[in-house]
Amino acid sequence: MEKGLYKTEEDILGDMSYVQFLLRCKVDFKFFCERLLEINEFGGIHKYQMDWFYTIQNNKASVIESAAGFSKTEIVGVAYTLYYILNHPGAKVLLVSKAMKQAETNLLERIKHYIHLNELTKKLFKPEKETVWNKTQIKLVDNSLVTNVPYNINIRSYRADLIICDEADTYENPDLYFSEVTSRIIPGGKICLISTTKGTTLLIGQLKARKPQGYAFLLTPALINEDGTRAEPPYDENKVYSNWPERFSVEYLLRERQAMGDAAFELTYQCNIIEGEDAIFSVNIIAKGFDESLKFDYSVRPEAQYFIAGDFAVSKGPKADYDCFLVLEKLDDILTIKHIEIWKGKPVPFKRDRLLELYNTFQNGRTVKLVLDPNNVGTEVARQLRANGCTTIFQKFDHQSRKGLLITLSNVFESESIRIPRHPRDAKALELTDTMVEQAIGFMRKKSESDNQVFLSTAQHDDILITLAMAVKHAVNIRTATSIGMSR
């Protein structure tokens, strides 16, 4: 800290007594931040930041999506942590970050900075000799404990009254949050996730889809309408406002939009996911097929037609695709995903038996069609299934056939004739359909040297999406399905 900037207790108190000042700090978060922590740059604490505070205070669990650079880590991860400790002596706080280095530099070091900020912060938070200070933990003499932890399985070793997940949408394994992080809260405690939006299928997207009981969601975009709602493009600089004009003027933000491009700007500053012009599938259009009343199930309608698609992994190893089996129901020209499952490393007898089990489950007096990938082990699986009396079709995967699969699936999404199970309490449906959407948005149209369109996937895997496309292709062409492949 520069010489001469360190304030004494008298400087901080002004004309207030110590007791008056302390009581005001405990009940007024804005006062606490501006007077005690000296957060006064760029206009001090703004309404949107107070909205964060009220959301956290009034709810057991909070999810805050905010534009990049809007001090979400500073206000929520750091200032609110100190405010919580002031009001809950002896509290245990967990600061969760993607990696330990991020936690050390972005959260714990900032907290240490504020404790040493002035004479009064040092007095209130008591960083004395007997206090534990290291790269992973701060322990105050009132037994308050602030611990930074990386987002991994080892978090199960901790328990806390307050858990703050910083940049939660960067976490690589969202399932870990549901299986490990949420169970670390001491009864009566709070959990808060803060992040700039990164994608629809990541942790915050999954939470918004599941809508867990007790969770509150708050969106803080950079550009807003007069009523405070998120502004939408195209932007008229005379009709939009900045949530933080002292730091990000409307003029500055619109220049950033021009420099960054629409998609990057919308994601970074508006927490709004849009696809590029070369995207085959639109997230917003796919989402129109989401049905929160539906779960995966094995119920059979006597008047429906059922298609079971099987896509088999081509290679082995950790980066190989999974075997994916998907059941699609067609009823009155509406397609409904009934079930999805993925497997890795299963032998041919398992693949055969599982597909046969699904085939028998969905018998309703009409012909159930198995649509299979003939590559790798597909031919042998099909041979054995036909020997068991199953109606089996091969799906071709040459360039034109693959392109046709994707175009047909895109058209089905566009026509809103597909229903995708998204019941908040069906964790498996949410997980696998999230993965499906992630795979879908990874497909791009590219021009080849011959000026023909080539569809390329930038996603790590495409197994679920391709399996769905296989089933959809034969469902919409039910009258000519047998001419596309081979029947028994």
Q: What is the pLDDT of residues 275-323, one digit of tens each?
A: 655 678 887 789 889 999 999 999 999 999 999 999 998 766 555 678 9
Burial class (CB in 10 A: 0-12, 13-18, 19+), 152: middle
Token pair, residue 119, equals 């004479």
Q: Among 293, 307, 329, 288, which Cα is nearest to 415's?
A: 288
Structure tokens at 295: 């779960």
Distance CA 89, CA 110 (A): 20
DSSP class of residue 235? P
In whole angstroms, give the CA distance from residue 68 to residue 483: 53
**Dihedral pair phi/psi, residue 196, rounded to 5°:** -85, 140
What is d(CA 252, CA 239) in angstroms, rounded to the nearest whole number? 15
Pick from 27-36, 114-123, 450-459 the range whose average pLDDT is largest: 27-36
**Res. 261 pLDDT band, cuts 50 70 90:** confident
pLDDT per residue as tens digits for the range 217-258: 999 999 999 999 999 999 999 999 999 999 999 999 999 999
Reported as a pLDDT band with limits 50, 70 and 90, residue 1 is: very low
Tell me the pairing of strands 185-195 and 61-66: parallel
**pLDDT for the residue numbered 394:** 94
Is the whole-model pTM more than 0.75? no
The alpha helices in 117-189, defined as continuous H runs, are 119-125, 174-176
Please, which pLDDT band fits residue 446 given cuts at 50, 70 and 90?
A: low
Residue 458, pLDDT score: 56
N- to C-terminal Cα distance for the chain? 79
Reduced to 3 states (helix: H, G, I; strand: E, B; else coil), residue 446 is: strand
In this structure, what token pair is assigned to residue 227? 């009523």
pLDDT digits (tens, 9 = 90+) for 57-112: 999 999 999 999 999 999 999 999 999 999 999 999 999 998 755 555 568 889 99
Q: Residue 402: is its pLDDT beyond 70?
A: yes
The answer to whether residue 15 scores a pLDDT higher than 60 is yes
The residue written with tokens 């933000």 in the block is 253
Q: Is 195 helix (H, G, I), strand (E, B) or coil?
A: strand
Q: Which pLDDT score, from 0 to 100, does residue 102 have?
A: 53
Amino acid at 338: K
Contact between residue 192 and residue 56 where contact means Cβ atoms under 8 Å apart: yes
Region of 415 (left: φ > 0; alpha: ψ -120 to 50; beta: rest) is alpha
**pLDDT reported for residue 485:** 38
Task: Out of 231-245, 366-380, 456-470, pick the least confident.
Answer: 456-470
Residue 444 · residue 280 · CB < 8 Å: yes
Pick among 3.60.21.10, 3.40.50.300, 1.10.275.10, 3.40.190.10: CATH of 9-220 = 3.40.50.300
Residue from 307, 313, 321 nearest 418 by CA = 307
Dihedral in degrees, nearest 10, Cα atoms 122, 123, 129, 130? -120
> Is pLDDT above 50 for 481?
no
Q: Is pLDDT of 166 > 80?
A: yes
Integer Cα distance of 34 and 14 in angstroms? 13
Q: Per CATH, which fold does 286-484 belong to?
A: Nucleotidyltransferase; domain 5 (3.30.420)
**Alpha carbons 435 and 199: distance in angstroms, whole number:** 11
Which pLDDT belongs to residue 2? 44
What are the structural domain ranges in the chain? 9-220, 228-274, 286-484
Between 462 and 482, name the one with better pLDDT: 462
54-59, long-range: CB within 8 Å, 24+ apart, which pairs? 55/216, 55/218, 56/80, 56/190, 56/192, 58/216, 59/190, 59/214, 59/215, 59/216
d(CA 237, CA 231): 11
| Residues with Cβ within 8 Å of residue 325, at least 6 apart in sequence | 308, 309, 310, 339, 340, 341, 342, 343, 354, 355, 358, 467
Give the per-residue pLDDT at 277: 54
Q: Give the list of residues 6+ apart from residue 257 with CB closer than 8 angstroms, or none.
A: 235, 265, 269
